[in-house]
Amino acid sequence: MIHGCFQGKDIVSLDQFSVDDLSILFNVTGKMKQIAVNNEPSRILEGLLVALLFFEPSSRTFSSFAAAVKRLGGQTLEMQNPEAVSSVTKGETFEDTIRVIEAYSNAIILRHRISGAAKQAARAAEDVPVINAGDGNNEHPTQTLLDLYTLYERFGRLDNITGMMAGDALNSRTIHSLLRGLSLFGNNTMYILSPNQLSLSRDEVVSLQDRGLRLIEIHNEREIPHDCDFWYWTRIQKERFSSAEEYQQAQHEIVIATPELLKTYAKKDMILMDPLPRVESVDPAVDADERAVYLRSQIRNGLYTRMALLALVLGRI
């Protein structure tokens, strides 16, 4: 748990955050936004080096973390695809790789295709914090920080919200972490629109309902309610399927966000979010709709929230 003190903490799950922790982070995020928007030179991370260790591809998380460090005057040690370019190819263990990288850096940002890898890395790293940049189909806590900030910025609250999450609820780590985040706040209702075979696991549904989140699973577009404050669209996670046939079947059954769908079911003042990458999830024809924030505030908030998290975890603010 963070308990108001971020310094030196590993960040592996949204479950470590309380409402007060999010409030601290959002406060700092506002300051970081000013630095980034105004291109203010910053020395907040001067003298520090942050390792980006990405065992899985990434556009947003990798580049926003790299940009966050550099915007704050720090430096990065960047390794993408260690399984091809590092001594992992020679048989070096994951733990040894983490121990080596921690010797050279002040924090490790880790993305991995295996669920639980971030926790494993946090156990291996004795001296520096590890931040989970997405582990398999488990969690993606820093994505949730930017998603929650985007909602907070738009609505001024994170309680009394009705939303719909669509796509691959079973495998989407961004959905898993965002549901955990929203379960911290009162009177939230989430509709989950997914093909049957990509529903949330029963354990996860029970756990989230126990925390007070109202969860309603739906399976076709006619069940979409008209009162959602936000939609959160996700792609089908092709890389998590064991066969091409299963993936194609799921892809065949999903609902895509189109201008027609918005016209029929969406409120005028709702927002449409997508953690991206966009792969047959949101029709590009929706981009011009001002409710579509995925390439606007949502993407930019990834930079500001990650700047804030780094400054807090590295004890520089």
> What are the beta bridge partners of residue 137?
none
Q: Which of residues 131-150 bind ligand CP (CB under 6 A)?
A: 134, 140, 143
150 given a catalytic annotation: no
Contact partners, residue 276, CB within 8 Å, separation at least 6:
59, 60, 294, 295, 299
Q: Which two tokens stand for residue 300?
A: 């930019």
Q: Which of residues 246-285 bind ligand CP (CB under 6 A)?
A: 275-277
140 given a catalytic annotation: yes
d(CA 178, CA 231): 12
Contact partners, residue 227, CB within 8 Å, separation at least 6:
162, 267
Q: Which of residues 34-93 bind ligand CP (CB under 6 A)?
A: 58-61
State the CB neighbour count (10 A cutoff) for residue 191.
19
The answer to whether 44 and 317 have CB atoms below 8 angstroms apart is yes
Question: How many positions of this chain bind ligand CP (CB under 6 A)?
Answer: 10
> What are the beta bridge partners of residue 139?
135
Of 113 and 219, nearer to ligand CP (C-beta) is 113
97 given a catalytic annotation: no
Helix (H) or strand (E) holding 281: none
Of 64 and 97, nearer to ligand CP (C-beta) is 64
Catalytic residue among 9, 60, 71, 112: 60
Of 1 and 279, nearer to ligand CP (C-beta) is 279
238 given a catalytic annotation: no
Of 56 and 317, nearer to ligand CP (C-beta) is 56
d(CA 118, CA 56): 13
71 given a catalytic annotation: no
d(CA 199, CA 189): 17
Cβ 294 to ligand CP, closest distance in Å?
10
Q: Is 167 in the site for ligand CP (CB under 6 A)?
A: no
Task: Convert residues 26-45 into a mask of x (bound to ligand CP by CB under 6 A) and - (unbound).
Answer: --------------------
Q: Which residues bind ligand CP (CB under 6 A)?
A: 58-61, 134, 140, 143, 275-277
Q: Point out the residues that are catalytic.
A: 60-61, 90, 111, 140
